[in-house]
């Protein structure tokens, strides 16, 4: 028996043994554990693949979103601008590669995602949707068009009014106070990690 929560299912290329063709379906349970099931024809393979995907609640990010352009890339992954196929709403999708992560790092990433799900505050970027396969986490986020606070300040030669500084500091402090209520510590608070909703005054 297998618990299907958090399992990824994919079809594999046809394999031959003793003149017999087999049609495999692979279930990826963790980075180090997988099971492969072999079927004698493509019809069986398709039926089991469809049934296992339904039971595991599999969903592909490309079924719901069109990727439009790359917005940024860094150590953690790549951020894309995308559009919801049904509503037309523009979003940001952060694709985080799991390949180079240890199992502990994957667990920490899951904890961070759970923290983001809890955070419903006007000064914290909203996590709108989440997809995961055996290679990536896809975090669907609110699209903010103002760049980061470093760029915002740089465009103004690092001179803003005291009133504006006070307003920005209040928003940041409010977000930090909010996450502290849940026992969450940010640990990487810097102006490059503060995203602006727009670039206006």
Q: What positions carry a catalytic annotation? A: 188
Cα–Cα distance for residue pair 93/114, rounded to 1 Å:
17
Phi-psi region of 172 (alpha: psi -120 to 50; beta: other; left: phi over 0): alpha
Please state, as a whole number, how many other Cβ atoms lie within 10 Å of the Cβ of residue 165: 12
Q: Are strands 8-11 and 78-84 parallel, antiparallel or unpaired?
A: unpaired
């Amino acid at each position: 028996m297998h618990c299907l929560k958090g399992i990824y299912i994919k079809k594999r290329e046809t394999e031959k043994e003793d003149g017999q063709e087999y049609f495999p379906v692979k279930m990826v349970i963790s980075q180090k554990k997988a099971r492969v099931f072999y079927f004698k024809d493509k019809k069986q393979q398709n039926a089991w693949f469809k049934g296992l995907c339904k039971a595991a609640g599999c969903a592909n990010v490309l079924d719901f979103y069109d990727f439009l352009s790359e917005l940024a890339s860094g150590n953690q992954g790549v951020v894309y601008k995308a559009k919801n196929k049904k509503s037309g709403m523009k979003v940001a999708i952060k694709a985080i590669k799991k390949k180079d992560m240890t199992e502990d790092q994957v667990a920490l990433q899951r904890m961070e995602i759970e923290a983001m799900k809890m955070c419903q505050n006007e000064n914290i970027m909203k996590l709108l949707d989440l997809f995961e396969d055996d290679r990536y986490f896809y975090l669907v986020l609110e699209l903010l068009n103002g760049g980061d606070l470093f760029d915002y300040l740089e465009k103004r030669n690092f001179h803003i009014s005291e009133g504006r500084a006070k307003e920005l500091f209040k928003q940041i402090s409010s977000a930090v106070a909010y996450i502290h209520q849940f026992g969450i510590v940010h640990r990487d608070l810097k102006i490059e990690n503060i995203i602006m909703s727009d670039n206006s005054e």
